[in-house]
Amino acid sequence: MIRPLTISDFVPYHALRRQALASDPFSFHTTMADWNGRTLAEHERRFRYTLNQPDNFILGAWAEAEKGKQLVGMTAFERYQRERIRHKGYIWGVYLVPEQRGRGLGSKLFDTAVQMAQEFAGLRQIQLTVMAHNDHALRLYQSRGFQIFGHEKAAMIANGRVYDELHMQLLF
C-alpha cells in the first residue's frame, strides 16, 4: 500500500529515515552524524513543516510484516515557494528497504510521487538529484522521462572518496 504520510506516521518515518542513512550512506547528503546531531523534536518539526505545506508530501510504502503493516519505503516532494520558481518542485529522500527491492514497489512509489506532483496547478517541472554511481536509480528515473541537465563533479566527499551527482528534470 502506498499513501501520503500523516503527522501520526512520524515514528515509523523517523525510524525508516535513520535506516536509509545507515544502510545507504553514500546515497544521501545527510550523514548519521548530522542526523544524530538533531533532537527528536527537531526532526519532528521538520517532518510537520513538510507535511503542512500545501504542495508538499511524503509518501510511504507499507508492507505486511509480523507486527502488522510496516513502513518499508518513502519518497518526498516539495514545491518551490518563490513566485518565479513555483512552476518547479523536487523529489527527495527516495528509499526502499533492501529486502523489498526488485519487486516493483520502489517503481510504484516513485511513479505515484510523480503523478501526485503533476496534479498541482501550475507545476511544470520536477527535479531530483541522484549520485552518479547509483545506476539502478538512474535507470529508473530515465525510464520515467527524467533527463540529466547537470553533472556536478565532487558533489560529496565521504570517507575521503569523491562522489559526483547528477541533476535531473522532468518537463511536462
| pLDDT single digits (tens) 103-132 | 999 999 999 999 999 999 999 999 999 999
Q: Residue 114 domain-assigned?
A: yes
Total tally of structural domains belonging to the chain: 1
Q: At 170, is the pLDDT very low, low, confident or very high (cuts 50, 70, 90)?
A: very high
**Burial of 172: CB neighbours in 10 Å, binned 0-12, 13-18, 19+:** exposed
Q: In this structure, is residue 150 part of a structural domain?
A: no
| Cα within 13 Å of Cα(10), Cβ side | 14
Domain with residue 52: its CATH number is 3.40.630.30
Residue 30 lies in a domain: yes
Residue type, 153: K
Q: Mean pLDDT, to the nearest integer, of 152-165?
A: 94
Identify the residue with better confidence: 102 or 142: 142
| Mean pLDDT rounded to a whole number for the chain | 95
Residue 113 lies in a domain: yes
Question: Residue 55 sits in which domain range?
Answer: 2-123
Averaged pLDDT, 64-68: 77
For residue 58, count CB atoms less than 10 angstroms from its CB and return exposed for 0-12, middle for 13-18, buried for 19 or more: buried
Retrieve residue 97's grid coordinates: 528497504
**pLDDT digit string (tens) for 5-48?**
999 999 999 999 999 999 988 888 898 999 999 999 999 999 99
Residue 82 placed within a domain:
yes
Is 77 a domain residue? yes
Band (166; pLDDT cuts 50, 70, 90): very high
Q: Is residue 15 part of a domain?
A: yes
